[in-house]
A and B are shown apart, each in its own frame.
Chain A
Amino acid sequence: MSVTTAPTVQPMNLTTGTFTLNRSERPAGPAATTLSVAGRTLKKFFRNPQLAVLGTIQGAMFLLIFRYVFGGAMAQGNVPYVDYLVPGFVVTGLLFSGMTTATGVAEDVEQGFFDRLRSMPVPRSALVTGRAVADTVTLTWGMLVTVAIGFAVGFRPDGSVPDLLLALGLTVAFGFAFIWLFVLLGLLAGNAQAAQGVAMLVFPLSFVSSAYVPVDSMPGWLQPIAENQPLTAMVNAVRSLALGSPEAAGLTGTTTHWVVVSAAWAVGLVAVFAPLAVMKYRRTA
């Protein structure tokens, strides 16, 4: 006859009564706090298959749909549609990453993570900055995956290598700029579901732009909106760089023009939304 022993539960070490924990006199500074928070957010992303894999697959799926389902109907004069599409797709992908930022921030509010951090003696602005840094890393990763898939489905840019690298760099900068908007939306929404709803604004923003089709193919009343929103400038800059010239992208103006305009938009977005996000976060009601 065999005797099975119940698994022993580790007893709490409570009888001893005392234990020693040391206090540190100097809490973490801005840089250390930013890194800690960023590290945690990255772990959350890469250890959460749902976030890491689904986000990637979703992007790839849309790229394939646009490339193979709509691609034939949307052939552009100067270049194959796949060359036209991929730069636009990479830039709008930033907004879809942004939705993850908004819901992630809202979850942090909802689940008390921000409360814990705000009750600690660390710089409050660093907590939001850590989030922005981490999400810039994850969107860069997502962007590189998208570009790789783009190459796999026939994307062959004519731009020089420095121009292509500049295009990638600009895209990361645009992503960083948009993150602040989404951090603010997440803070304002306060819970993940509401954040997801608010973040839906990325759909009109991404479709009413030059990302998938040329602006001059849109109805007249829609053109001024599409023409004058940040995403169009960013897509135009990245596309001009990637395709080697604005003409190849079906655009007027010089590449420099589009780079400057889009960079100005990015700076503007950070200048407006970063202080608002930090203020909202700091505020102790």
Chain B
Amino acid sequence: MNEPELAIENSRYGPRRLTVELTNVCNLHCSYCLRDEDALYHSPAHFFPVELLSRVLGDARECMQIEQVMFTGGEVTIHPAFGEIIETVAAHGLKCSFITNGWHFERVWPVVLKQRAAITHVAFSLDGATREAHDHWRGAGSFKRVVQALSRCWANDFPFLLKVGIRRDTVQDLERIAVFAARMGAAALSFAHLMPTSNDIATSLALTLDERAEAEREIALLARIFKMRIGIDVGYYNTELASPCSALSGVSANINYRGHLSLCCNLSGYRGGNGEEDVITDLNHEEFGVAFARLQQVAATQSELRIKALTDLAAIGAKADLTTGSPCLFCLNTMGKTPWDSLVQISPLTSDRQTLPLLS
């Protein structure tokens, strides 16, 4: 019996787009979140300026030919000018989507409805198909808020998708989550491997290479069974030399809540990370076009680094380990985002990972 192939988007990298972090703050405290904890909870709240958004959208449309904008955070619905943000996208003839925990969705719903022509869909984060599973991570009442948000979308025929992290607790419920998403009327269900932000998270929540492969096979099977679109975000094991993601292929770019252009929203403000090699410049003081050209250089360099690591291993007949085989983990590791993992060395000359003993 042939293994089902992983579902791949019709357009390999999706539409040309910007990802914009509307804010650094969030009203929830999910312990596995990949955003820096200080930025989320202990720093002054920054909200992406509408004027800056308007400028960069115009510039990005011209030099990057973007068609869409994806808003992320923090929690985007906290932005006090959320309505103006969406209006700005519409005014530029672009479309947008946003990801939200759903808690404040009722508050932004009038804007979402009014500007629905400019919004392709809303993505809701979900941590399980039950109140217990979801609220365990996001706090009491969160599941109810998400379901109410889904209800609004369903009643108004507004497309939405659900985004679910693949962790030890969710991996046993992939099918159940898919049934829930389908019955709730989701247009799509998107899974993504957990990106660990500490040794503790890595060992207690993240899956091993073999476990990830099994989860990916299951997701591919679900994608074949369900009419609803089911997929897995970039980060799955992929040793093809072609660009593994929109960021490295130049199809997307990220702008953080401070207005800094960077390579990818997954790397941006990574919890526990030291490196800022993914950050190009401050767009408050530099033109997007000039900055984007430098971003493409960084993307090209990173791609070459990845290709070299993979070809070196292939040359000696070694299988890429998880950190090399997962494009996201590779970038995190090589860009200094996972210093807690620095004791684990990847030797290209052997097929085994070498773990140094922890020194007391």
A-B interaction: no
| A contact residues vs B (CB 8 Å cutoff) | none
